[in-house]
Amino acid sequence: MKEEDVLEQRLKDFYDRVPDVEDALPFKDYLLKHEDSRMAWYLLGKQYEAKGQESKAIYCFSQAGEIYEAFENKPVPSLPESEQVWRKEPQSKKRGGKWLVLAAALTFLVSGYLIYAGISAKPDRKHANEEAAVTLPAAPGKQTTDASPIASSPAAAPGDLGFDTIAGAAEPDREGLALYAGMMASAGKSNALLVRAPRLGDFTDWVNSGEPVASTSSGGTPGSAVTLWHDAKWCGCSTADGKQARQVVEKWKPEQEAKLLLRSAMIEYKRDTGNWPANPQALAGNYPNNTVAGWTEEMSKWFDELKRVLDDKKDGKVPLTVGWPQQAGSEASSGAEPSGQLAPLTNEPLHIIVDKTNHRLAVMSGNVLLRNYAVGLGGDRTPEGNFIISEKVRNPNGRSDGIFGSRGMTLSDTRYGIHGTDKPDSIGKDESQGCVRMAKEDLEELYDLVPKGTPVTIVKGGLPSETRVPPERFRLPSTQDETNPRKVYDWLT
């Protein structure tokens, strides 16, 4: 018997056993291949709930377990007592018994096929791997009414489609699975990429984030969507090549750092002057008006976008904070908004933490650790507490190779600062007179990455000992004069 005939016979047997199951809901198809997927069980339950089919919804929610509890913030519901009896009697012809047969039949159908409106269709063999892709109608209530078979369609190449969101999750735990469930729920409405965002101690490790887990995009037919798995640890299945998605993330991350810098700079400027910056020159001016150390064409686009929002006063009131730039920069997917564990980038300004115990300096946004540098300190001579970067200067005292190196940042108008050193062997030790010493490449990246006004907290302990710097450093093209020949700097080296 041909493969197609075998499938048709199994489908006939299935519907003979459950004659009143005519509702072709999108996540039911997914469960035919992945019956242990708690996210799909939860979403299928929500679809039945929307249709008023309470018993089926509750059964799905019971299969979803902790995913239901995470989304609904309440215990999994139980079936009414009468229907619990029906579930225990497989031979019953009552509605509850038929749903039990449906659940059992999920394992009966052959893997590798999808069902829409009771009509079978083979997966498109153009996929990198047929088990790595699942094609679904866009969302509950959006099912196609076309009576013809609908075949799976290959997802658009991530590098071409551009993602609307890029979400980070550390592991396929409750939080990670909930993120994926949310992607599935919005499939067809937006393109999304889920990436690994591993933990480093108590923090999200930005440098090592970005390995693709799963991506969703519009399918080849109206109202459909395609999910591609890229990480077998998450799905327990074969996976599609994540090379294109990985390339998107590699280009996306530096532009998110630039957006974060711009947003932080505007917030710190407002805190310092009481007003939002009127133009890019207000942020990237000559010393001492060098809130940022350079400027790019992309930053101009983002600044104009944010400024339009700030100028749109509601009830005559100036907005209290600045949002997140939505426009893409030089790459299409740079417009994707960070979400999941990476969401703090969009609402938490930059903050520096110095750990005297581990001799580390971290650049943070919320609990996202963007960098973790090795530094030299002064032991008890290095003060603890809260400071801000009150001054930024290039080539202190007219030199790039002096005792303060090529860059310097004053802490709260004191003699303490973050600067370079002509004694690189002192990095990791307590040999300074109280200042924070940095290696040249680390210092120059930090100088470009954080704006003037950035808060600095000096404490004992708290940061991981592992350093974190990217293979390609964040740098801004210098657009202004940041030297200060009128002053002789005497930081406490």
Which entry of 127, 230, 359, 419 is annotated as an active-site residue?
Answer: 419
417-419 and 360-365 strand pairing = unpaired
For residue 379, give both structure tokens.
């032991």
359 is annotated as an active-site residue: no
Please enumerate in sequence order all residues whose Cβ is within 8 A of that of 58, keeping only pairs 6 or more positions apart, or say none: 45, 77, 78, 79
From the list 127, 167, 181, 182, the residue with the least C-alpha distance to 151 is: 127
435 is annotated as an active-site residue: yes
Is residue 91 within 8 Å of 82, Cβ to Cβ? Answer: no
Is residue 73 within 8 Å of 53, Cβ to Cβ? Answer: no
Q: Which residues of 355-366 are buried (b: 16+ CB within 10 A; e: fewer)?
A: bbebbbbbbbbb
How far apart are the C-alpha atoms of 27 and 39, rounded to whole Å?
Answer: 9
How far apart are the C-alpha atoms of 267 and 264, rounded to whole Å?
Answer: 5
Beta-ladder partners of 363: 352, 371
Beta-ladder partners of 194: 167, 214
How far apart are the C-alpha atoms of 32 and 40, rounded to whole Å?
Answer: 10
Is residue 26 within 8 Å of 137, Cβ to Cβ? Answer: yes
Phi, psi angles (nearest 5°) of residue 103:
-60, -45
Please report where in the chains the tokens 């913030």 appear, as a residue.
73
- Burial, 278: exposed, middle or buried (Cβ in 10 Å; 0-12, 13-18, 19+)? exposed
For residue 476, give both structure tokens.
């801004």
Which entry of 60, 235, 237, 435 is annotated as an active-site residue?
Answer: 435
Catalytic residues: 419, 435
